[in-house]
Amino acid sequence: MPADPSALDLVLHPVRSRIVQQLGGRTRTTAQLREALPDVTQATLYRHVTALLDAGVVTVVEERRVRGATERTLALGDALAHVDQEGLRAMSTAQLASALRVFLADLAADADRALAADAPALRELWGFGRGPIHVDADDLAAIQEGFTALLAPYLEDGGEGKHRVSLATVLLPEPPEPPSAASTQD
């Protein structure tokens, strides 16, 4: 997600968020985006792509003539980056809640599309889990660096026999527990 609040608001739109998801780690032509997002009309798709291009969230990496029209190949632009701790602190509670809801909705929609494909051979690539960890901000930075190093060899298309999977992480801090009645009487 972009750290710039105006770009963040732009990307939080459900259609634009889905476009960004389609471009994550790869390039796509506008025709490929239309195929990947069949429920979005062509005019709506182009309007949202234009908004993302204008904001620098998406960039054109190639243009070519196809049957008299110009087909653009798109990729994520420089304005899109992971929201760091400073960016998260700058977000309002409403923006953070909205960003999380869009993220979860996109994740659920991706899961629905994968399930609709009903590809038993890909079931071994599914996985999800949840568990607590005990960290501070420095620990999270170290974990992020470790993830980056661990995942680096898998970010490019590995070729034959490799499948693209989406790895999503969510960190939800638990609010502190209210003091119990017994501890307040001491």
Read off the pLDDT of each residue in 36-58 and give the average, rounded to a whole number: 91
* Domain boundaries, position 131: 5-116+127-154
CATH number at residue 34: 1.10.10.10
Q: Residue 171 domain-assigned? A: no
Supply the pLDDT for residue 114. 82
Please report whether residue 34 resides in a domain. Answer: yes
Q: Is residue 83 part of a domain?
A: yes
Domain count, the chain: 1
182 lies in a domain?
no
Query: Is there a domain that residue 165 lies in?
Result: no
Q: Which of 61, 80, 71, 68 is nearest to 34 (CA)?
A: 71
24-28, 89-93, 143-147 — most confident range: 143-147
Residue 1 confidence (pLDDT) above 70: no
Q: How far apart are CA 79 and CA 4, in angstroms?
A: 8
Cβ(50)–Cβ(69) below 8 Å: no
Confirm whether 162 is domain-assigned: no
* Residue 23 belongs to a domain: yes
Of the ranges 47-56, 81-90, 114-123, the best mean pLDDT one = 47-56
Three-state DSSP class for 23? helix
